[in-house]
Chain A
Amino acid sequence: MGDLYDNQRAMRQMRKAAMQRGVVAILDVGTSKIACLVLRFDGPEQFRSVDGVGSLAGQSQFRVIGAATTRSRGVRFGEIDAMQETERAIRTAVQAAQKMANVRVDHVIACLSGARPRSYGLDGSLNVAGGIVTEQDISQVMASCDVPDYGADREVLHAQPVNFALDHRSGLADPRGQIGNKLTTDMHMLTVDATALQNLFYCIKRCDLELAGLASSAYVSGMSSLVEDEQELGAACIDLGGGSTGISVFMKKHMIYADSVRMGGDHVTSDISMGLQIPAPTAERIKTFYGGVVATGMDDREMIEIGGDTGDWEHDRRTVSRAELIGIMRPRVEEILEEVRARLDAAGFEHLPSQQIVLTGGGSQIPGLDGLASKILGQQVRLGRPLRVQGLPQAAIGPAFSSAVGLTLFAANPQDEWWDFEIPADRYPARSLKRAVKWFKDNW
């Protein structure tokens, strides 16, 4: 297991280096847009010695000094499809953000929305040798988790211990130093397609940047748009993106499930484009200006010019009523929400004590979506916006930026993952000895 996480450990080291430099970039590679934020870590709590989250949920450490978005190219379903195009788009966003920040960034923390995430719940148990739980015991119990065969072409993106139990006491956040016989842990592991990760790695490397962290966009948008009690009591965050819709379920401030539906706002746009016979940019414009999901009598009378430049007068002067537009959009949005419902049902969301659902992402701005969603997903639905972080420009505070904002929180206070704990002692010496022997062989 140990070697699997070398990449993640290397990224954590890189993140520490970036924190010391004080400047780190956030890159949200989405299907419809690529957002880049430049963070400067210079707040008063930068050199805090105590553990835990600092004041203002750890946000007082940093501020946003550069922000840029650009139209995404070469990304489909949240996965990189045409690498050269995506690389150019990333370069555009990073350059603009650097220009605004007037500082050079070398480290970037990225998130990706697609790549077919799959959640696993793991559990492991261990008989505590000395009676008192030590850090070694925790790493051992995590190493003892029964890892399913998730396939050779997949990578672990998140592996977070969600719960610890010592003998009959469950729900421990930190069992270190407690006395007991049997330590058990529950872990949530999220795997994604390895190729999608590699493509993202490669694109970022081609831009002369170092990857200092990776996160699932569903997870980080949940971190930014769910309020604290929702995260504590149980809630699902639905991130309606361009090419994919991310689902993350939170409970006790841990993500316990994540998934993504490979449908999003771009599909609505393409439906409009096909249904009205208009180019995709026009369809996108009409969707954002006049779109909706609940038709009223007024909408029959509101005519929208859909235009065209073929030179044919009849063709170029077409109009469509808003009711028609809603008629095209609603089935697709319903389909997406039905699919989300199916995923949540499969995950057992109805067993959670609180079944709050928060809609965020660019797609959540469709007027009347909350009404439609409450019919499909349940009564407790609200529209979520990312929380405010210092220095974020006005243009970047909308729900479309919830994963970018969540990524800033992730950069400031990452949750402990499997690879942040100590390596179990029984594994450690052999590896380091091997490494030392290799070093001697290489150098003498």
Chain B
Amino acid sequence: MRSLIRRPVADTGPRDPAPSKLGYRYQRLMLTPGFRAAVRIGVPLILIASIAGSWYSKPENRAALAATIAETKQSFQQRPQFMVQSMNIAGGDLASMAEVAVHLPSEFPVSSFDLDLEKIRADIEALDPIKSASVRVGQAGVLEVRLIPRVPVALWRDGATLQLIDADGVISGTIAARAERLDLPLIAGDGAEEALSEALALFATSGPLLERVRGLVRMGERRWDMVLDRDQRILLPAEGPVAALDRVIALNDAQDMLSRDVAVVDMRNAERPTLRMNEEAAAALRRVSTTINNGAGN
């Protein structure tokens, strides 16, 4: 008789659990290092990339993302710690300060992220009267501009205009009249600014003549003429002008030469310094020498 209750089939002998062929292959596949790395890294990577890509492919999502980024950036940059409240310009005269101010932001407060300090500095340094400048955002949101102005060492007459020129030969401004800067020596002529150091050396040498010097004129872009008052000129050579000037000064000291009626002292040829006298002086000399000669002849 069959029992009414179903009994579990009694296991005969030991069970031999063997992996299925598929399970065995799967285990071997998962033990393959390359495949394992691909599953562990590649699959999540692909999943994330596909999700991000599908989200990003919609234009409204892209716009929202861009807006969010811009807003976050804005809010960060507009924090009070980064705001520049005022500015402070130091180290220049009033005229140059006015020029500099054009290149600085006009409205405050402004975020320091919006200030391109490098560009501001380059703009300021491009101005004529400014030699160099430092621009930085200092404490308490102050935009500090330190100016080092160009120091003119000479005046350069170019036609009717008088220009200030500094030691580097850079024109740093214009003045209306010579009287404004009597302290600066005057130079003129084409190419004068290129030989500025030589001119300054000449001025420094001119010592006792200094109050008589009107200026230096560059002749033919190679040598200097020193112009004194009373229309006197000292023609200096291209080589060794300072030594030549020294000789003139020495002559002047010995002979009081330049207070005489001399128009031109020509030092161009060092072997043979030449003097040219004024017309009246020449005439007077001729007359005197004629008289002497006549007297001698008598």
Binding site for B on A (CB under 8 A): 70-71, 73, 88-89, 91-92, 94-95, 98-99, 102-104, 207-208, 279-281, 309
Contact = CB atoms under 8 A, between A and B. Distances in A.
Contacts of A208: 24-25, 28
A88 B18 contact: yes
Contact of A95 (B13, B14, B27, B32): B27
Nearest to A94: B24
Given A103-B31, A104-B28, A95 B16 contact: no
B24 A91 contact: yes
Interface of B: 10, 13-14, 16-19, 21, 23-25, 27-28, 31-33
A335 to B, nearest CB: 27
B26 to A, nearest CB: 10
Contact of A71 (B14, B32, B33): B14
Contacts of B13: 279-281
Contacts, number: 40
A91 B21 contact: yes
Nearest to B30: A104
Contacts of A98: 27-28, 31
A20 to B, nearest CB: 15
Q: Give the interface SS of chain B, mostly helix, strand, loop or mixed.
A: loop
Nearest to A91: B24
B14 to A, nearest CB: 6
A99 B27 contact: yes
Contacts of A73: 16
Nearest to A101: B31
Contact of B17 (A92, A94, A279, A309): A92
A401 B28 CA distance: 25
Contacts of B17: 92
Given A70-B16, A94-B24, 12 more contacts: A71-B16, A89-B16, A91-B24, A92-B16, A92-B17, A92-B18, A95-B24, A98-B28, A103-B31, A207-B24, A208-B28, A281-B13
Contact of A104 (B16, B19, B32): B32
A103 B31 CA distance: 6
Nearest to B19: A95
A73 B14 CA distance: 11
Contacts of B33: 104
Given A103-B31, A104-B31, A91 B18 contact: yes
A92 B28 contact: no
A250 to B, nearest CB: 36
A70 B31 CA distance: 21
A102 B36 CA distance: 12
A92 B21 CA distance: 10
Contacts of B14: 71, 281
Contact of A89 (B18, B24, B31, B32): B18
8 contacts: A91-B19, A92-B17, A92-B18, A98-B31, A103-B31, A104-B31, A208-B24, A208-B28
Contacts of A94: 24
Contacts of A102: 31
B22 to A, nearest CB: 11
A279 B23 CA distance: 32
A98 B23 CA distance: 13
A168 to B, nearest CB: 57
A71 B13 CA distance: 12
Nearest to A280: B13
Residue of A88, A279, A280 most packed against chain B (CB within 10 A):
A88
Residue of B17, B23, B28 most packed against chain A (CB within 10 A):
B28
A93 B148 CA distance: 88
Contacts of A70: 16
B12 to A, nearest CB: 8
A281 B16 CA distance: 13
A280 B13 CA distance: 8
A17 to B, nearest CB: 16
A92 B19 contact: yes
Contacts of A91: 18-19, 21, 24
A311 to B, nearest CB: 11
A101 to B, nearest CB: 9
A281 B11 CA distance: 12
Contacts of B28: 98, 104, 208
Nearest to A103: B31
A148 B32 CA distance: 46
Nearest to B12: A279
B244 to A, nearest CB: 88
A279 B10 CA distance: 14
